[in-house]
Amino acid sequence: MVNFKRGKPLTLERDEHLASIESIQSGLESLNYISNHQIATAVFLAYQLDKPVLIEGPPGVGKTELAKSVANMLELECIRLQCYEGLDESKAIYEWKYGKQLLYTQVLKETLGEILEGAKGLTESVAKLHEFGDVFYSEEFLEPRPLLKALKEEKGCVLLIDEVDKSDHEFESLLLEMLSDYQLSIPEIGTIKADPARKPLVFLTSNNTREISDALKRRCLHLYIPFPNAELESQIVHARVPEIPAELRRQLVTFIQELRELDLKKVPAISETIDWAKALILLHTESLDADLVKQTLNVILKFQEDIELVEGEVQMLTNKALKA
């Protein structure tokens, strides 16, 4: 095990899981998330340096799953913000409870007379009203959205900002303050900061549909999760579908790995491998054969043209998988 020169003092119970890269790896493994060294390093550094992790990679390699598994491992709440075009601060950070504000205005109107009792002239009345302060723009009227909620979470939490690349450029700028300083500014109230000892662990995922801005990238650790190699994938299938016999698992993984070499519109990801494994179990398969593969091809391939392309190669691929 590596000894680290300067780590954070392990004040909290959950920190034990994050004490070293090995403990993260084993912790995740116990939750059936098989990580490689790089992934574990990212989580470790994210915690040690208080930096968000930006995870990129093809769909279905377990980007979102990583955040969820870390939350599970630490037994913290996973607050998720799903990004989409048009997402803005009122849905991501906070919103005023307009209804409540209106209701209270009505109530206030009725009691206004009592409050202003004894005040002479306009100036005095206004002065008197001022004594009440800005009740309508206080925390009671604030509806916290995911980002704000994550900051206020007392036990700390895992914040998952999913598919950042789907949001608008403006939204990225909104995130900057949160990601670099773990604070949010609300004009009417002031700055809300996270408890320094329990800063949320932030994960951002991106499918690379567009380039994320440099400003955002600069603030993050950048983790790229590629498709796993055969060994790792086999482990993952084993962890997720334990009932699959070892022989079939080997064949299945070899087949998928071969498939990824082909020129497909969408190559099968790990999630598809797992689905396929489950499907094969349901069909009581013991060993791959060309016909069976052809029938279940739609589990792993999601485009008709891909299926047509692969159908011609199935025999060859199956033979390869059986021989390997």
Both tokens of 276, joined, read 């396929």
CB contact at 8 A, 86 and 168 = yes
Shortest Å, Cβ 88 to other proteins: 9
Buried b (16+ CB within 10 A) or exposed e, 264-296: beebbbbebbbbbbbbbeeeebeebeeebbeeb
Nearer to other proteins, 98 or 303 (CB): 98
Shortest Å, Cβ 210 to other proteins: 7
- The 3-state DSSP class for residue 243 equals coil
Both tokens of 223, joined, read 């983790």
Nearer to other proteins, 24 or 277 (CB): 24
Q: Which residues bind other proteins (CB under 8 A)?
A: 2-7, 21, 37-38, 41-42, 44-45, 48-49, 51, 54, 56, 85-86, 90, 95, 98, 102, 105, 168-170, 210-211, 213-214, 217-218, 220-224
Between strands 190-193 and 183-186, the pairing is antiparallel
The single-letter code of the amino acid at 97 is K
H or E element at residue 187: none
Shortest Å, Cβ 44 to other proteins: 8
Shortest Å, Cβ 2 to other proteins: 5
Nearer to other proteins, 155 or 218 (CB): 218
Q: How many CB atoms lie within 10 A of CB 259?
A: 22
Spatial CA neighbour of 276 closest among 259, 254, 297: 297
Shortest Å, Cβ 5 to other proteins: 5
Shortest Å, Cβ 320 to other proteins: 28
CB contact at 8 A, 61 and 227 = yes
Nearer to other proteins, 50 or 311 (CB): 50
Distance of CA 93 to the CA centre of its chain: 16
Nearer to other proteins, 102 or 324 (CB): 102
Nearer to other proteins, 42 or 157 (CB): 42
